[in-house]
Amino acid sequence: MSITSSSLRRTNGSSDEYTGEKFPSAAKAQVVGVSSETNSNDDNDSVCSDVSKKGKVKTAWDKIIDLIEVKHPDGEGRVASKSVLESFVYNGELTPVEAKRRQWSWKQYVFFWISGTFNVNTWQISATGLQLGLNWWQTWICIWVGYLCVAVFIVLASRVGNMYHLSFPSSCRVAFGTYFSVWVVLNRVVMACVWYSTQAYLGGICLQLCFRSIFGNNLNQRMGDTIPSENLTNFELMCFILFWAVSLPFLWFPPHSLRYLFAAKSFITPIGAFAFLIWCVRKCNGTLSMSALNDNSGMNQAATAWAVIRSIMSSMDNFSTLVLNAPDFSRFGKTPRSSMLSQFIVIPVCFAVISLLGIICVSAAYTLYGINYWSPLDILSRFLGGFSKGDRAGVFLIAFSFAFDQLGANLSNNAIPAGTDMTAILPKFINIRRGAFICACISLAICPWNLLASSSKFTTALSAYAVFLSAIAGVIFADYYIVRKGYVNIYHCYSNLPGTFYMYNRYGTNWRAVVSYVIGIVPNFPGFLGSVGLSVPIGAMRVYYLNYFVGYLISAITYVTLVYFFPVNGIPGNPKITDKVWLEEWVEVEDFAYEREQFEKNFNSLSYQEPKFA
């Protein structure tokens, strides 16, 4: 069956209109199956729990499966009991966000990013440019430019979530296909778990400072060292486990309800950050050693240019995972513009401000100690050297604010995206809450103290993973903005019926996207190997220095070229790539469960009509 386009619409009247066919509202309850007889049967099924609905006696294994499977609400107040494949295609966790849960205005996105930027990593982002030989103001300009680019990519990636209320696992099906999207999502899950582990360990270091300021600077030695590891002591493990455990209750809450945490964090953490700045400046009596932060002796213009490029690209690499999962948060926007302008402004401003605070604090510490301490936690540790009452109180309060910030950043950047993505992989047994808890458990097995022991190579490898993620982001951008002109049929996103738009073929894979993804990786791959220690030509490394742009643009251009010669279905009017049309629209999904059910039942018999756009 050849299908070019379709659209399902609900009318404002008393009937449900699906492209010309009407289903009376009275029939809705009948189709959904809400009747006293059905409820009675459901009650009997629940009482006779040892007997399955197929009449077979349940085995112990069946009972275990029933116990651990997620009871996803299907949107009509019922509990959906589905197979693994059925729950993968559609479940309550990944359903488009209805108006009741779309509670984020522009203010929530401002709070979200303010709370996410005041963390230990952000304080250190200036280190890349300074260590490459740039002076402080050159580095700061690079940070502005880098995060302006980041803001553009975030806004572009957010739009599909904002307009169609789709999460990243659901929206990436449009470009890559219903089944191949699992591989795309799995890439994000792996990175989220690794980053969750390392961020939790940094939170544990914050707690170490809190405890040392209370119980003594030698607390680490007093607790002894019985762990057979060069990279971990009893005290360090205790603080890591404590931070990890304190984080667990916050994983229980659904993402849309965490806006209160982000709002509180956006007020508390800036106070701690500016207090730390004032303290550093007062300790050095206002004498800042800004010129001692770098060594650019002997740098020619070419070396300076490449240092600028690498400094800018480090911002892109650090955000490669967040660009992908931008729809996970933009889908909660109240209006079509809730997540757009606010994110575009707040992201570069926040990161530029925090990096400047970091530069000033590092220069103040150099005046005091003659060493560049890139981490604010290292500076706080040195402040405890005198162990006066004032120093102890100051270190405790500032370290506590950093710990609180690490908590919020880990939730928003890692736990929630990991939970959302795991829901897309195995939704019969994992929802967002369970996925977040699984991410936390995996973080223990990662043993971040060993990874951070060789921090330079580890962080380089994590940033280098942008080689793979940028190619994914480029394909998604090209598919949504250039190929589909902003159009997504949300019913086809949640169906694996043969002939639906995003199944593409029996394998549920858009081969054009896969080929473009691989081609986008190839130019950067030699440089990726060089970044982790292998010997490669200087030309390969210079291509890699532009890795995010190279992967993004090459994959996007390749995808557009392939679609030009091998068009995809599912676009109203079948516009050409060169046509100047825009088909995006704000959709309402209040009755999505019922509408999708009717779509599935009547897919092969419906007479499709193209939607009319303003």
Question: Any idea which of 226-230, 556-560, 602-606 has the lowest mean pLDDT?
Answer: 602-606
Q: Are 85 and 496 in contact (CB under 8 A)?
A: yes
Whole-number pLDDT of residue 164: 94
> Measured between alpha carbons, how far is 22 from 49 in angstroms, rounded to an integer?
39
Residue 580 placed within a domain: no
Question: What are the phi and psi torsion angles at 602 (to 5°)?
Answer: -115, 15
Query: How far, in whole angstroms, is CA 448 from its chain's centroid?
Result: 20
The mean pLDDT value for 448-476 works out to: 78
Place of tokens 């510490």: 365
Pairing of β 72-73 and β 15-18: unpaired
Q: What is the pLDDT of residues 480-509, one digit of tens each?
A: 999 999 999 999 999 999 989 999 999 999
Q: Cα angle at 149 between 293 and 416, to 5 degrees?
A: 95
Overall pTM surpassing 0.95 (yes/no): no
Residue 492 placed within a domain: no
Whole-number pLDDT of residue 40: 42
The mean pLDDT value for 264-279 works out to: 88
Question: Any idea which of 175-189, 292-306, 414-428, 452-466 has the lowest mean pLDDT?
Answer: 452-466
Judged by phi (left if over 0) then psi (alpha if -120 to 50, else beta), residue 609 lies in: beta
Q: What is the pLDDT of residues 119-167, one digit of tens each?
A: 888 888 888 888 888 889 999 999 999 999 999 999 999 999 999 999 9
Whole-number pLDDT of residue 381: 92
Contacts of 121 (CB under 8 A, 6+ apart): 199, 202, 318
Is the pLDDT confidence value at 328 over 90? no
**For residue 89, with 0-12 CB atoms within 10 Å meaning exposed, 13-18 middle and 19 or more buried, which class applies?**
buried
Contacts of 42 (CB under 8 A, 6+ apart): none
First to last CA, the chain: 29
Whole-number pLDDT of residue 519: 97
Residue 364 placed within a domain: yes
Alpha helices in 371-431 (DSSP H): 376-383, 389-410, 416-425
> Measured between alpha carbons, how far is 177 from 164 in angstroms, rounded to an integer?
17
Alpha helices in 9-135 (DSSP H): 26-32, 36-47, 60-68, 84-89, 106-117, 120-123, 126-131
Residue 43 placed within a domain: no
CATH value at residue 183:
1.10.4160.10
Q: How many domains does the chain have?
A: 1
Position 307, amino acid: A
Is the pLDDT confidence value at 255 over 50? yes
Q: Are 523 and 542 in contact (CB under 8 A)?
A: no
Residue 1 placed within a domain: no
In which domain, by residue range, is 310 found? 99-464
Tokens of 215: 């119980």
